[in-house]
């Protein structure tokens, strides 16, 4: 199937296949960072992608990755707040978890080609499908967060409310990290090649988002755990991301180009800045800097998820990221004998 804009690109690259070095070698306008791997000559079919591009909409799916992390980590904060007697931290965390996961469910259903058939997600349980596992996880988790938030707001049913809060905290970390498996379990080079580190990136990113929400909404006096969570989460997120990029080889390149690159820089600035500001915002009357830090953390986490999403799409769009690593793999294998 050919879209009009694809046709134009194909036309530009149509001379490419007849020569010996038939690869498409695009000059990118990006300034600054050098490509991590030198441009390799490779063959392709008129520069057309090998993979079909993900059909997922960025707002729905990147938004879902973000909201799932926010909800999962918020459930941890909520349970901790309940256990340590911090009701003013617990309430926004519980409401945040319930709100975020409800929104994310709406995004998931909205992204379906046949939204009316969303219940087919629970037709089977398939451990080989991260989306099936995730659907069952959400089916258990979302009602728990809603029950926890409702009991808190109502001020009644304290025992069931606490039980729901605790149970949501058990499932929360899984909700925050399984989404990394969801995107990594594809043929998309910049998602798949990061499968070892991406869950840790998402765990850190979820922690910073939940901490950010708590910093915005909870009083400074009770937000100590959120401040520490922000610092620890930012360190985990940014650290794991660096390790991931170093281990991905050529598939790391899309993270340094175009929209993904810009989003990633924004994410780094907001997350590290927000975490630093959060660490310094512990003084009782420092309500405003806590709110600014919280907003920065929320924004940084969102930018990271969108960066990961767009880098993956870009890596699927360019045959280079599919062909060159596979070619190298074959070469290494034949060299081994």
Partner 1 sequence: MSGREDPGHLLYGPQPDVAGAAGYPDAPPRVGFFTDTSVCIGCKACEVACKEWNAVPEDGLRLTGMSYDNTGGLGADTWRHVAFIEQRKPLGGQEPGVWHENAENAEDTDVFAAAARLGTDAAPGPGTTTPPPDRAPEGTPAGQISPVAPDGRTELRWLMSSDVCKHCTHAACLDVCPTGALFRTEFGTVVVQEDVCNGCGYCVPACPYGVIDQRRDDGRAWKCTLCYDRLGAGMEPACAKACPTDSIQFGPLAELRERAAARVARLHAAGVTDARLYGESPDDGVGGDGAFFLLLDEPEVYGLPPDPVVTTRDLPGMWRHAALAAVSLAALAVGGFVRRPR
Q: Which of residues 83-142 bind partner 1 (CB under 8 A)?
A: 83-84, 111-115, 117-118, 120-121, 123-124, 126, 128-132, 135
Per CB under 8 A, does 229 bind partner 1? yes
Q: Please, which residue, 156 or 283, has the CB nearer to partner 1?
A: 283
**DSSP of 112-181:** SSSGGGGGGGGS---TT-HHHHHHHHHHHHHHHHHHHHHHHHHT--HHHHHHHHHHHHHHHHHHHHHHHH
CA 237/CA 244 separation, integer angstroms:
10
Give the residue from 177, 64, 53 showing the smallest Cα distance to 111.
64
**DSSP of 6-55:** HHHHHHHTTTGGGSSS----PPP---SSPPSSPPPP---STT--SSPPP-
Tokens of 147: 């029950």
Q: Please, which residue, 115 or 160, has the CB nearer to partner 1?
A: 115
Per CB under 8 A, does 232 bind partner 1? yes
Interface residue with partner 1 among 168, 188, 216, 251 (CB under 8 A) is 188
What's the closest the beta carbon of residue 138 comes to partner 1, in angstroms? 12
Per CB under 8 A, does 34 bind partner 1? no
Q: Please, which residue, 45 or 157, has the CB nearer to partner 1?
A: 45
CA atoms within 13 A on the CB side of 300: 34
Name the strand (E) or helix (H) holding 231.
Answer: helix 224-248
Task: Single out the segment in contact with partner 1 by CB under 8 A; choices: 32-40, 53-61, 94-102, 149-157.
Answer: 53-61
Q: Please, which residue, 157 or 195, has the CB nearer to partner 1?
A: 195
Q: Which residues inside 242-281 make contact with partner 1, applying CB under 8 A?
A: none
Name the strand (E) or helix (H) holding 301.
Answer: helix 287-317
Give the interface size with partner 1 as a residue count (CB under 8 A): 102
Per CB under 8 A, does 337 bind partner 1? no
What's the closest the beta carbon of residue 274 comes to partner 1, in angstroms? 15
What's the closest the beta carbon of residue 26 comes to partner 1, in angstroms? 16
Interface residue with partner 1 among 63, 212, 233, 274 (CB under 8 A) is 233
Per CB under 8 A, does 19 bind partner 1? yes
Per CB under 8 A, does 209 bind partner 1? no
What's the closest the beta carbon of residue 34 comes to partner 1, in angstroms? 26
CA 277/CA 291 separation, integer angstroms:
10
Helix axes 287-317, 258-280, angle to 10 degrees: 160
Interface residue with partner 1 among 103, 106, 282, 291 (CB under 8 A) is 282
């Amino acid at each position: 199937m050919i879209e009009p804009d694809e046709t134009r690109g194909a036309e530009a690259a149509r001379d490419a296949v007849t020569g010996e070095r038939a690869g498409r070698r695009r000059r990118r306008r990006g300034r600054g960072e050098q490509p991590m791997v030198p441009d390799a000559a490779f063959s392709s079919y008129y520069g057309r992608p090998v993979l079909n591009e993900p059909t997922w909409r960025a707002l729905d799916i990147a938004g879902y990755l973000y909201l799932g992390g926010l909800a999962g980590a918020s459930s941890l904060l909520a349970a901790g707040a309940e256990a340590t007697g911090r009701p003013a931290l617990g309430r926004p965390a519980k409401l945040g978890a319930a709100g975020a996961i409800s929104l994310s469910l709406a995004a998931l259903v909205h992204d379906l080609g046949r939204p009316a058939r969303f219940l087919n997600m629970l037709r089977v349980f398939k451990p080989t499908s991260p989306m099936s596992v995730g659907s069952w996880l959400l089916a258990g988790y979302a009602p728990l967060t809603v029950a926890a938030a409702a009991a808190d707001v109502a001020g009644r049913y304290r025992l069931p409310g606490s039980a729901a809060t605790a149970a949501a905290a058990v499932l929360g970390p899984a909700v925050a990290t399984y989404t990394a498996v969801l995107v990594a379990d594809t043929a998309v080079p910049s998602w798949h090649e990061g499968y070892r580190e991406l869950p840790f990136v998402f765990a850190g990113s979820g922690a910073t988002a939940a901490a950010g929400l708590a910093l915005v909404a909870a009083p400074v006096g009770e937000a100590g755990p959120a401040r520490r969570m922000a610092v620890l989460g930012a360190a985990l997120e940014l650290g794991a991301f660096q390790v991931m990029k170093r281990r991905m080889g050529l598939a790391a390149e899309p993270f340094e180009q175009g929209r993904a690159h810009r989003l990633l820089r924004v994410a780094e600035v907001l997350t590290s800045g927000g975490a630093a500001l959060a660490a310094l915002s512990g003084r009782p009357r420092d309500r405003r800097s806590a709110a600014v830090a919280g907003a920065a953390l929320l924004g940084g986490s969102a930018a990271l998820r969108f960066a990961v999403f767009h880098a993956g799409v870009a890596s699927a769009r360019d045959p280079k990221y599919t062909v060159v690593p596979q070619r190298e793999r074959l070469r290494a294998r034949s060299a081994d004998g």
